Amino acid sequence: MNTNKKSVPQIRAHKANETNPPIAMVTAYDAPTARIADAAGVDIILVGDSLGMVVLGYEDTLSVTVRDMAYHTKAVSRTEPAALIVTDLPWLSYHTGVKDAIKNAAKLIRAGAEAVKLEGGANRIEIIRALIDAEIPVMGHLGLTPQSIHTFGGFSVQAKTRDAAKKLLDDALAIEEAGVFSVVIEAVPNVVAAKVTQLLHIPTIGIGAGPNCDGQVLVFHDLLGLTFGHRPKFVRQYGSLGELGIKGLEGYVHDVKMKAFPSADEGYHVGHGEFDDWNF
Ligand code: KIV
């Protein structure tokens, strides 16, 4: 057991202020990405259903299943990170009622998740309460909720009007009341995220929600340059692993073609004389 292990109560109590730096959360989907995230000191690893887009190559998150999420959670969990492991409940794994939500969340907990995340506000209160009653901690997700892509008509900034911002505030208060231990706020104006952060007692974790949240989250592959399409303006890229990888592999392809790889020393040898009179 990792002695620096982050827990749900620690995160729940963590509002950022002068002495408490913001929470750092990043996605990870397998053992190497989890090891890198944990070695870098993140507080929370999110096994996000964004894996559908950045790992599995789908256009959105809607094709991701509970089985996919459990498979990737197991890989992350085997690395025994100090970071808290939170796994997304994918689309339609909790929308069909309390019983399904508990059954599916339990699969993720048994795969190694220490909490689950689900999207939605007041409309998810019953589900959130039931999960918490089953001893499954829940992180909320408001604003641009990618599982609602067809309802929104695309991946667009949310809560841009006073009415929409008021609804987001009401949703945030409702899910806090229901017991979520923190809430992701995605792609909303900075001023709206700041107001939610000020009103809630639990931490807000922003993505495209400005600098005033109690924490920040980014997708591992966006952050390190492993995604190849459009990059939203809120993604700051801290590395270019994609470019590094292409350069490295170009070297490999070149060496294979030129018969410069492998060298004799990169293979195995047997004792002197063993194959001297071997007839091929
Ligand atoms: O699936 C995911 O990666 C997420 C983050 C963008 C918050 O939900």
Distance CA 76, CA 71 (A): 9
Query: Is the model's pLDDT at 84 over the cut of 80?
Result: yes
**Considering the entire predicted model, what is its pTM?**
0.97
Judge if the beta carbon of residue 184 lies within 6 A of ligand 1. yes
How far, in Å, is the centroid of ligand 1 from the Cα of 164? 21
Q: Is the CB of 49 under 6 A from ligand 1?
A: yes
Span 88-102, average pLDDT: 98
Average pLDDT over every residue of 100-106: 98
Instruction: Kindly tell me if the per-residue pLDDT of 270 is higher than 80.
Output: yes
Give the pLDDT of residue 1.
64
CA of 163 relative to ligand 1 center, distance in Å: 25
- Residue 279 Cα to ligand 1 middle (Å): 61
Q: Is residue 2 over pLDDT 80? A: no
pLDDT at 233: 94
Residue 135 among the catalytic residues: no
Over residues 61-85, the mean pLDDT reads 98
Which pLDDT score, from 0 to 100, does residue 230 have? 87
Domain extents in the chain: 8-240
Q: Which fold has domain 8-240?
A: TIM Barrel (3.20.20)
**Do 180 and 139 touch, CB atoms closer than 8 A?**
yes
